[in-house]
C-alpha cells in the first residue's frame, strides 16, 4: 500500500523533474518486481521438480539451465526475486519505523536520554550484522522472518542516527522557533515541519539501505541463516552452485546478475531521489512567472 | 487581571548559561498598545530576552527573576500553559526571513497554520473557503501584491522583502496583544527596510498592538517606537522616551549609538 503511494509519488516527481538515473533505476527495480509478481501466479516448473537432466546449460526448455538436482534455475530465480524483495521491504519497514521513532526521541530528549540513545546506536552500528543475525537465528531458528528482523534492526540504528542529526539541525532553525512562538505544539512541529524536512534525505537513505539489505539477505542465505529450503533465495543458489561453478558457471552467474540488477536499480533510484529531493528545486506550478509587464525582481 | 498592570512586566530578569551572565537584572514594562525599543549590539542579550518572553530559551540557559505576560508568570511555567499563551499574548518576527519560513511548505499553507489555530482558540469553525479568504486578506494587509501567487509559492520563489511581509502576516495571524520584532529589517536592503518599518508601524497602530522592537540600529528603532531601553553586555544602561534620548544621551554607549545614527542619516541626506 505505502509502496504504491511511494511509487506514485516517485512517478509524479519524475514527470515534473526528469532524472535519468531515477528512470533507469525504476526500470531495473520494476523488472525484478514484475518477476516477483509473476512468480506468485505462474512458474515455468515446480520448484521441487527434479525431472530435468542435471546441470543442463540454458535452453528453450530451461532458460537458465538446471542445478545439480535437475531443478529449473529460472524457476528458482523467480522465487528468489520474491524473497529478496520481501526481505528488503520488510527490513526497510522495520528499519524506518524503529529508526525514525528512535531518532526523533533522541532529538527531542534531554541530554541524558539523548546521550544514552546515541551510545546504544553506536554500539548497534559497530555490531556486525552477521553476528546479530546469528544470535537471532539461534534464538528463533533460521527463517525468512529472522533474516528480516536482523537486517531491519541493524538498519534501524543507521536510520536513527541519521534522523537524530537531521532533526536536531532542523529544530535549531528559525522557522521552528517562529512556529513555536505562535503556539504550535510538539506534534504540530513534528508533522508539519520536521518530518517533511527530514524525509527527502531519509528516503534516499532507505533506498540505499534497501540495496544493502538485498546483499545482506544473500549473504545470510549463503551462510544458511536465511530462508530455509524449499525457498530458493539468490544467496542460497550461489551457495549451491559453489561446487559446480567451473563446470556449469550459469548456476552462479544467474543469481549473481539478478542481485546486481536489483541492487544497481535501488542505488540508481537513491541517486535519482537525491537529485530531485533538493528542496530548493521544488517549484510550485503557479510560481512560474507568467509573461507580465513586471520587470525582473 | 487589573487594568493598570502592564501587558508585559519584566522584573530583574537574569539569564545565565555556560557560567556566564548573559542578561543581568533587566527590568522593563510594556502597556497595552505601547511601543518599546530594545537596543544593543549583537551579543548584548536582546534576542535572548525575546526568547525568554516566549518561554523558548535554548536548553542550557536559565532565566531568573519575574517575567509576566498578560498576567501570567512565564519563568518556570509548564510547557502546556505556555503554549496557550504563545500566539494569543505574543508572537515574534525574526531577523532572517529565509530561515524563518519552512522551505518545503507553500507560503499559504504556512500562514494557514496560525490562522486556523486562532480560529480554534476563538471557537470559530473555519471552512476552506473562509480560510482561503482570510489568507488572501492577511497577505493584502501586509501590502503584498498578487496575494494568490504569493500564497502558492515556496519561500525561495519570492523576494526577501516579500518573505518578511509573509513572516509578519504569520506573526499577526494569531492577533497577539504583543508583537515582538527581533531585528526584522536587518537582513533587508535599505529601501525595503523603510517599507517594512512603515508597514510595521501602521499595522501595530491599526490593531492597537503593543510592540517590542529589537534592533542594533537606533535610526531604525526611532522610526517605530516611543520609548527605548539601551542594553549593553546584558545590562540596561539607559532608558527613556526616544526623542529625549536622541537629544541628550547620557551614557557613553548611547552617545556612540546616536552619533552613529546621525552620521548614517547625514550620509543618506547627502544621497537624496
Is A110's Cβ below 8 Å from some Cβ in B? Answer: yes
Domain range summary for chain A, segments of one domain joined by +: 2-283
Is A177's Cβ below 8 Å from some Cβ in B? Answer: yes
Single out the residue of A70, A86, A293, A93 nearest to residue A209, CA to CA: A93
Q: What is the mean pLDDT of chain B?
A: 88
Q: Which CATH superfamily is domain A2-283 in?
A: MetI-like (1.10.3720.10)
Check CB contact under 8 Å for A180 and B99: no
Check CB contact under 8 Å for A174 and B84: no
Chain A residue with the nearest C-alpha to that of B148:
A286
Is B146's Cβ below 8 Å from some Cβ in A? Answer: no
Residue B127 is predicted with a pLDDT of 87
Task: Report the pLDDT averaged over residues B90-111.
Answer: 89
Each residue's pLDDT tens digit, A166-186: 999 999 888 998 888 888 888
* Residue A271, C-alpha cell as written in the block: 541517486
Each residue's pLDDT tens digit, B8-25: 999 999 999 888 899 999
Check CB contact under 8 Å for A196 and B102: yes
Neighboring chain B residues of A185 at a CB cutoff of 8 Å: 83
Neighboring chain A residues of B51 at a CB cutoff of 8 Å: 177
* Residue B49, C-alpha cell as written in the block: 530576552
Q: Is the pLDDT of residue B45 over 90?
A: no
Percentage of chain B exceeding pLDDT 90? 46
Q: Is the pLDDT of residue A286 over 70?
A: no
Mutation for testing the A interface, residue in B104, B151, B214 having most A CBs under 10 Å = B104
Single out the residue of B225, B204, B165 nearest to residue B39, CA to CA: B225
Domain range summary for chain B, segments of one domain joined by +: 8-271
Each residue's pLDDT tens digit, A196-237: 999 989 999 999 999 999 999 999 888 888 777 777 889 888
Rounded to the nearest angstrom, the minimum Cα separation between A268 and chain B is 24
- Compare CB distances from B154 to A175, A182, A287 and report the shortest one's residue: A287
Inter-chain contacts counted by CB atoms under 8 A, chains A and B: 97
- Compare CB distances from B86 to A175, A181, A285 and report the shortest one's residue: A181
Task: Using the Cα atoms of residue A111, residue A117, residue A122 and residue A123 in order, give the sign of their dihedral.
Answer: positive
Residue B4 is predicted with a pLDDT of 64
Other C-beta atoms within 10 Å of B40: how many?
24
Terminal Cα distance for chain B, rounded: 50
Using pLDDT thresholds of 50, 70 and 90, give the confidence band for residue A17: low
Residues A105 and A113 sit within 8 Å (Cβ to Cβ): yes
* Residue B27, C-alpha cell as written in the block: 527590568
Is A182's Cβ below 8 Å from some Cβ in B? Answer: yes
Other C-beta atoms within 10 Å of A225: how many?
22
Residue B65 is predicted with a pLDDT of 92
The SS3 of residue A66 is strand
Rounded to the nearest angstrom, the minimum Cα separation between A177 and chain B is 8
Mutation for testing the B interface, residue in A109, A166, A175 having most B CBs under 10 Å = A175
Percentage of chain A exceeding pLDDT 70? 87
Kindly give the pairing relationship between strand B90-93 and strand B178-182. Answer: parallel
Is A289's Cβ below 8 Å from some Cβ in B? Answer: no
Q: Is the pLDDT of residue A238 over 70?
A: yes
Residues B179 and B196 sit within 8 Å (Cβ to Cβ): no
Q: Tell the burial category of B56 from Cβ atoms under 10 Å away from its Cβ (0-12, 13-18, 19+).
A: middle
Kindly give the pairing relationship between strand B20-30 and strand B227-232. Answer: unpaired
CA separation for the pair B167, B97 (Å, rounded): 7
Check CB contact under 8 Å for B113 and A297: no
Task: Using the Cα atoms of residue B18, residue B20, residue B25 and residue B30 in order, give the sign of their dihedral.
Answer: negative
Check CB contact under 8 Å for B105 and A180: no
Determine the CATH number of domain B8-271.
3.40.50.300
Residues found in chain B: 272
Is A291's Cβ below 8 Å from some Cβ in B? Answer: no
Task: Report the pLDDT averaged over residues B88-103.
Answer: 88
Per-residue three-class SS string for chain B: CCCCCCCEEEEEEEEEECCEEEEEEEEEEECCCCEEEEECCCCCCHHHHHHHHCCCCCCCEEEEEEEEECCEECCCCCHHHHHHHECCCEEEECCCCCCCCCCCCCHHHHHHHHHHHHHHHCCCCCCHHHHHHHHHHHHHHCCCCCHHHHHCCCHHHCCHHHHHHHHHHHHHHCCCCEEEEECCCCCCCHHHHHHHHHHHHHHHHHHCCEEEEEECCHHHHHCCCCEEEEEECCEEEEEEEHHHHHHCCCCHHHHHHHHHHHHHHHHHHHHC
Each residue's pLDDT tens digit, B159-175: 988 999 999 999 999 88
Chain B residue with the nearest C-alpha to that of A185:
B83
Check CB contact under 8 Å for B100 and A287: no
Amino acid at each position: 500500500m505505502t509502496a504504491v503511494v511511494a511509487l506514485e509519488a516517485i512517478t509524479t516527481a519524475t514527470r515534473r523533474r526528469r532524472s535519468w538515473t531515477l528512470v533507469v533505476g525504476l526500470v531495473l527495480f520494476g523488472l525484478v518486481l514484475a518477476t516477483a509478481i509473476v512468480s506468485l501466479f505462474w512458474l515455468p516448473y515446480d520448484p521441487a521438480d527434479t525431472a530435468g537432466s542435471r546441470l543442463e546449460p540454458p535452453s528453450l526448455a530451461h532458460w537458465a539451465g538446471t542445478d545439480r538436482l535437475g531443478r529449473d534455475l529460472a524457476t528458482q530465480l523467480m522465487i528468489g526475486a520474491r524473497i529478496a524483495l520481501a526481505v528488503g521491504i520488510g527490513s526497510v519497514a522495520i528499519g524506518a519505523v524503529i529508526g525514525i521513532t528512535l531518532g526523533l526521541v533522541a532529538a527531542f530528549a534531554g541530554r541524558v536520554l539523548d546521550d544514552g540513545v546515541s551510545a546504544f546506536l553506536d554500539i548497534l552500528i559497530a555490531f556486525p550484522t552477521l553476528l546479530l543475525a546469528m544470535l537471532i537465528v539461534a534464538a528463533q531458528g533460521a527463517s525468512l522472518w529472522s533474516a528480516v528482523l536482523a537486517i531491519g534492526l541493524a538498519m534501524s540504528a543507521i536510520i536513527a542516527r541519521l534522523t537524530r542529526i537531521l532533526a536536531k539541525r532542523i529544530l535549531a532553525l528559525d522557522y521552528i522557533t517562529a512556529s513555536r512562538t505562535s503556539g504550535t505544539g510538539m506534534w504540530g512541529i513534528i508533522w508539519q515541519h520536521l518530518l517533511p524536512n527530514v524525509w527527502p534525505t531519509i528516503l534516499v537513505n532507505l533506498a540505499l539501505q534497501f540495496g544493502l539489505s538485498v546483499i545482506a539477505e544473500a549473504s545470510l542465505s549463503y551462510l544458511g541463516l536465511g530462508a530455509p529450503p524449499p525457498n530458493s533465495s539468490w544467496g542460497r543458489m550461489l551457495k549451491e552452485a559453489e561446487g559446480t561453478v567451473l563446470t556449469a558457471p550459469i548456476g552462479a552467474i544467474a543469481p549473481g546478475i539478478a542481485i546486481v540488477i536489483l541492487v544497481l536499480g535501488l542505488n540508481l533510484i537513491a541517486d535519482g531521489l537525491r537529485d530531485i529531493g533538493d528542496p530548493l528545486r521544488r517549484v510550485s506550478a503557479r510560481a512560474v512567472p507568467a509573461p507580465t509587464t513586471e520587470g525582473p525582481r | 487581571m487589573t487594568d493598570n498592570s502592564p501587558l508585559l512586566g519584566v522584573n530583574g530578569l537574569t539569564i545565565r548559561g555556560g557560567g556566564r551572565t548573559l542578561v543581568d537584572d533587566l527590568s522593563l514594562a510594556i502597556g497595552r498598545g505601547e511601543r518599546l525599543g530594545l537596543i544593543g549590539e549583537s551579543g548584548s542579550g536582546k534576542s535572548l530576552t525575546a526568547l525568554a518572553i516566549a518561554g523558548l530559551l535554548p536548553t542550557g540557559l536559565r532565566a531568573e527573576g519575574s517575567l509576566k505576560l498578560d498576567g501570567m508568570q512565564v519563568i518556570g511555567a509548564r510547557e502546556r500553559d505556555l503554549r496557550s499563551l504563545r500566539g494569543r499574548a505574543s508572537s515574534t518576527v525574526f531577523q532572517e526571513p529565509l530561515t524563518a519560513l519552512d522551505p518545503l511548505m507553500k507560503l499559504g499553507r504556512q500562514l494557514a497554520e496560525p490562522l486556523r489555530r486562532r480560529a480554534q482558540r476563538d471557537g470559530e469553525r473555519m471552512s476552506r473557503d473562509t480560510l482561503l479568504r482570510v489568507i488572501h486578506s492577511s497577505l493584502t494587509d501586509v501590502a503584498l501584491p498578487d496575494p494568490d501567487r504569493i500564497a502558492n509559492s515556496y519561500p525561495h520563489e519570492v523576494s526577501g522583502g516579500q518573505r518578511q511581509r509573509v513572516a509578519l502576516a504569520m506573526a499577526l495571524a494569531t492577533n497577539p496583544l504583543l508583537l515582538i520584532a527581533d531585528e526584522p529589517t536587518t537582513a533587508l536592503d535599505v529601501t525595503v527596510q523603510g517599507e517594512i518599518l512603515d508597514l510595521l508601524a501602521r499595522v501595530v497602530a491599526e490593531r492597537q498592538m503593543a510592540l517590542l522592537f529589537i534592533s542594533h540600529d537606533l535610526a531604525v528603532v526611532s522610526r517605530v517606537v516611543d520609548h527605548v531601553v539601551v542594553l549593553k553586555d546584558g545590562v540596561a544602561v539607559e532608558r527613556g522616551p526616544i526623542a529625549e534620548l536622541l537629544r541628550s544621551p547620557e551614557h557613553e554607549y548611547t552617545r556612540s549609538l546616536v552619533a552613529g545614527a546621525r552620521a548614517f542619516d547625514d550620509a543618506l541626506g547627502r544621497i537624496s
